[in-house]
Structure 1
């Protein structure tokens, strides 16, 4: 029998989040305020006894000139994904969103499929026969994830094609890097750093790099570096008001939900990054740096301070967020993977994002539109 689903209040949503060890920041009520081009709504699943047993933040993006929506639950919903019958949760969600005018639903189950230790990744990189993570035997595998994927397919869900974060092309990374902190002393975490990390930390200390926490007024300095980073790495930067909305919305929900760190050297800000925390899970969110004075290693000093602070506050994991799945020496994304796993982090594969068309004509039209952008 399916759970009952209805819209819930912000307070109900937050109380449920507080009862969980980890929930993606993208499933917080405040995230809807960060995305003004989407309509946001909190959904709640209730059992037969009327107890709230699951929540989801759904973002609704309207089609131009039509009252039809793409419904998106980034890195959610927050339900029991180990349940034997996921349709008990997903069918009422689909019925509710169909009534709201959704023509297609996209979700990102926060379910881990496989993990590779830093050592396994390093061995894969050094093997010339290996081109992708999937070619490397995983350190750990979750058999229930594959069974869930098969149940989703049988129910009409299809794995989504990767896309950008803006507009209709919503999407979150399927592969991330996570540094385990639970049950480890800071000394053990430090001993797990690769040689290059330890060397660069010493360089930053010797050069006098200082990492400090910033506040709302420092977002402008962060954004200047972020814009420079976007130009250098050839991606479209978000405007400053986006980060100002993030800060205002997330810190209103919890004063320590979002932090800003800045790496200084001789009075100049060389690197900066934002950090998000929900429960015992910490995420490195956005990073930025200048090409000047790279030899003093401000970005490594910045990350090490964020890792230390995460450990001090009792975090279970420090999440470096997205990585590519390539191990090809000719791919520029390999450098990012090397840097993140160099801290001792695991490469982690999630189940990825899934689409469920509710109106196949409109869904196909949207896919065609996205493919031509």
Structure 2
């Protein structure tokens, strides 16, 4: 670790703690020790900083004096227009020991470092989950006007509950308050398929009847699934624009964004980001991206054509991606965001219904939390920055 910037003693912790910039190599070595279903998000790998345009960044780490790292963070810094002050954003981070009851032992020095770096406010995405609902529970609760908050969770994570209470006690504010859909930049509700300890046959039987029928239909129709390359990204992007128009959403990302993401993630670790293609009759009908970090695999972005949907190319893609994630030894396959609505007449519910068919579970994360730095000027900049983001 580099020279000390902030010590824990400076915020009231007796044991010495080193916190400061770390090299990408040291950072990646630490991430490699954090495997399993609770491993780090792909949004916290060093390469992600080069995906984001318009942001500066820092790689910081901390640990005991003379010892190994115990936590790291990729910090994205967004300058406030016309100033040298920054909004600090740690997407789905920091990568820390959230079970440590002495939260201030590392969070205090981290905030001190960011304040010294010119940050007027900080947003974080704590790692622990909050609640989980099995697919069967969600399906049984589906109905007019229903939402996830109306349904008793199958599991409530005590660590997530404790972390939320500790952050509130320290003045952190959950983005969007306790609103189910929040105001987070990253999805508050995600859908995950556990893989650890399961065979490929277990995954197949975990699919619902409709999914198994659609995978068989794709196979019988001759849908071919392959792993593409950077040269196939323009075709993926063309299908993505079709999907956005059909489904009524706009990600607001360019082809250059996906090309940059593919290049930098794979430069950091070959195979970290893959592009899967489903062809029928020689034509690409669907394309999905997948990202792998340690013991976690994410289905990131999906796109499909408007025609020949009856051959079920997206089901074929997801089944292949599930099998590949399992073959990699991943502990969990994360299909990313789902809406909180359980109303079948709500247009957004279609996405949840599709993912429910994989037999996984809805996971409510702790969402994102913000705090302005102490001081009248920082408070004023924070309010102005919120208004600026609202206008954008």
Same fold? TM cut 0.5: yes
Q: How many pairs align?
A: 365
- The alpha-carbon deviation at position 170 of structure 1 amounts to 6.8
Give the whole-Å Cα distance in 1 for the aligned partners of 2:192 and 2:165: 26
1:188-337 matches, cutoff 5 A: 188-232=202-246, 233-337=248-352
Deviates more, 1:262-271 or 1:81-90: 81-90
- The alpha-carbon deviation at position 236 of structure 1 amounts to 3.9
Q: 2:140 aligns with which of 123, 129, 137?
A: 123
Q: Deviations over 1:131-180 (max 9, x none)?
A: 11121111111122112111101111100139xxxxxx971011000001
Aligned partner of 1:84 in structure 2 is: 101
Give the whole-Å Cα distance in 2 for the aligned partners of 1:371 and 1:65: 18
Q: 1:338 aligns with which of 353, 356, 360?
A: 353
- The alpha-carbon deviation at position 307 of structure 1 amounts to 0.5
Q: Deviations over 1:341-364 (max 9, x none)?
A: 111010000111000111111111
Q: Deviations over 1:190-210 (max 9, x none)?
A: 001011101111111111110
Unpaired runs of 5+ residues, structure 1, are: 163-168
Aligned partner of 2:187 in structure 1 is: 173
Give the whole-Å Cα distance in 2 for the aligned partners of 1:331 and 1:47: 51
Q: Is the CA contact 2:276–2:287 (under 8 Å) kept in the aligned structure 1? A: yes
Q: 2:32 aligns with which of 2, 13, 18?
A: 18
Give the whole-Å Cα distance in 2 for the aligned partners of 1:354 and 1:267: 47
Aligned partner of 1:185 in structure 2 is: 199
Deviates more, 1:53-62 or 1:322-331: 322-331
- The alpha-carbon deviation at position 64 of structure 1 amounts to 1.2
Q: Is the CA contact 1:105–1:357 (under 8 Å) kept in the aligned structure 2? A: yes
What secondary structure sits across from 2:163 in the alignment?
Answer: helix
Question: Given the alignment of the two structures, is residue 56 of structure 1 paired with residue 73 of structure 2, yes or no?
Answer: yes
What secondary structure sits across from 1:52 in the alignment?
Answer: coil
What secondary structure sits across from 2:70 in the alignment?
Answer: strand
Aligned partner of 2:9 in structure 1 is: none
Q: Is the CA contact 1:263–1:270 (under 8 Å) kept in the aligned structure 2? A: yes
Aligned partner of 2:390 in structure 1 is: 371
Q: Is the CA contact 2:184–2:368 (under 8 Å) kept in the aligned structure 1? A: no
Q: Is the CA contact 1:178–1:320 (under 8 Å) kept in the aligned structure 2? A: yes
Question: Given the alignment of the two structures, is residue 141 of structure 1 paired with residue 165 of structure 2, yes or no?
Answer: no
TM-score in terms of structure 2 length = 0.90
